[in-house]
């Protein structure tokens, strides 16, 4: 009996790492596949190695950048791999184009599909991720919902697969890797502020909109607390195209970094005062016991309402003054996270492998 674990982006690798370790711990036969969606071979294998994961058994090299073309490439590549390796179940995580391509390939080859982090909904059809997660949920056989709220979304949509509430594997990963980050990361030696807010923005609906970008720049310049800003390549490209990059680079209130490794980023989250982001994953990571930081969500919606309900996150949109008000609330102690993460206790990967063993591999 065999499990295929398919990843395509860094967040997927981080969230599937504890699942892979659990499969190894139990001696379950698996193959590890990287679709090549985000990173070239050298960068990806280095990142995987840093996390202590084995080298992927297969690594697809994509020739195209537009989603329809590389989804097709991934499906053709996985068809050959699945035909040779004959897995009993394909495990995918999240809402990327790699996840859609992997799940569709498995469906057409009559292979069971397990969707880790199933049932998330933003109800915002502008987001490509919303299309992806709905498609994959409706064709999956086993759905690992991180919360009861995610499970309820699946029940309402009357999906055909079996639903299990497991918690989110990102909590497992933060607990697993924080001690490693504390030993290996040197990033805090380079931070020039005693207190700071950590900021990330990368979503197309934000960074492809010049007015929204301008709002974010004004936020950085006006913030009552300095901003540490690891800047996504897409974001920096848009800033340069809009002529907005100089305001950031010249500001004494902002410290820019290129994209950082996972361990450095964990340390920045642990030591910051608050997080400003349009990332979905950071809304989860911020709730992990080693971090527990308030998150100001720079979006109009979130597919992680549990973080909001638990007091960890506040969805404020993209208006500069609205964001600043929430920053002041954090600094005045009016916005304090709950003591317990709504995304589980760090045992999600164990539950997932238990379910796979009991329902698929017997």
Residue with tokens 């992806």: 132
**CA pair distance 344, 63, nearest whole angstrom:** 39
Catalytic residue among 34, 131, 190, 202: 202
Contacts of 101 (CB under 8 A, 6+ apart): 35, 70, 71, 72, 74, 75, 78
How far, CA to CA in Å, does 143 sit from each of 15, 151, 187?
Answer: 15, 9, 37
Separation in Å, CA 286 to CA 65, 102, 171, 329, 337: 31, 29, 9, 18, 9
Q: In what order do the strands lie in the sheet with 254-257?
A: 254-257, 227-230, 197-200, 274-277, 295-297, 313-315
Compute the distance between CA of residue 61 and CA of residue 13 in angstroms, rounded to an integer.
17
Both structure tokens of 310: 């638990």
| Residue 202 annotated as catalytic | yes
Answer for the pair 71, 79: CB distance below 8 angstroms, yes or no: no
Q: How many whole angstroms separate alpha carbon 173 and alpha carbon 8?
A: 17
CB 83 within 8 A of CB 59: no
Instruction: Give the active site residues.
Output: 202
């Amino acid at each position: 009996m065999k499990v295929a674990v398919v990843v395509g982006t860094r967040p997927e690798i981080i969230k599937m790492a504890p699942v892979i370790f659990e499969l190894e711990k139990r001696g379950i036969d698996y193959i590890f596949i990287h679709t090549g969606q985000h990173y070239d071979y050298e960068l990806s294998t280095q990142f995987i190695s840093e996390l202590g994961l084995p080298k992927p058994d297969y690594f697809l090299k994509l020739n195209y950048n537009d989603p329809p073309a590389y989804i097709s490439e991934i499906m053709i590549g996985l068809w050959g791999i699945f035909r040779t390796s004959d897995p009993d179940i394909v495990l995918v995580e999240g809402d990327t184009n790699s996840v859609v391509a992997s799940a569709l390939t498995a469906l057409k080859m009559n292979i069971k599909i397990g969707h880790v982090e199933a049932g998330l909904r933003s109800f915002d059809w502008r987001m490509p991720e919303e299309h992806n997660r709905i498609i994959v949920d409706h064709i999956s056989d086993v759905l690992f919902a991180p919360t009861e709220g995610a499970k309820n979304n699946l029940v309402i949509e009357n999906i055909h697969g079996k639903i299990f509430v497991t918690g989110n594997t990102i909590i497992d990963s933060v607990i697993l890797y924080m001690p490693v980050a504390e030993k290996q990361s040197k990033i805090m030696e380079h931070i020039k502020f005693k207190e700071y807010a950590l900021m990330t923005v990368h979503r197309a609906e934000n960074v492809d909109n010049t007015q929204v970008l301008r709002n974010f720049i004004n936020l950085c310049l006006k913030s009552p607390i300095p901003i540490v800003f690891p800047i996504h390549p897409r974001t920096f490209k848009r800033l340069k195209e809009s002529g907005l990059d100089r305001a950031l680079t010249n500001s004494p209130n902002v410290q820019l970094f290129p994209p950082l490794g996972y361990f450095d980023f964990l340390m920045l989250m642990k030591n910051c005062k608050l997080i400003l982001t349009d990332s979905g994953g950071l809304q989860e990571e911020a709730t992990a016991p080693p971090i527990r930081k308030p998150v100001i969500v720079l979006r109009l919606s979130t597919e992680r309402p549990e973080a909001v309900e638990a007091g960890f996150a506040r969805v404020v949109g993209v208006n500069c003054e609205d964001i600043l008000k929430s920053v002041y609330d954090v600094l005045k102690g009016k916005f304090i996270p709950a003591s317990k993460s709504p995304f589980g206790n760090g045992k999600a990967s164990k539950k997932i492998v238990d379910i796979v063993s009991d329902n698929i591999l017997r």
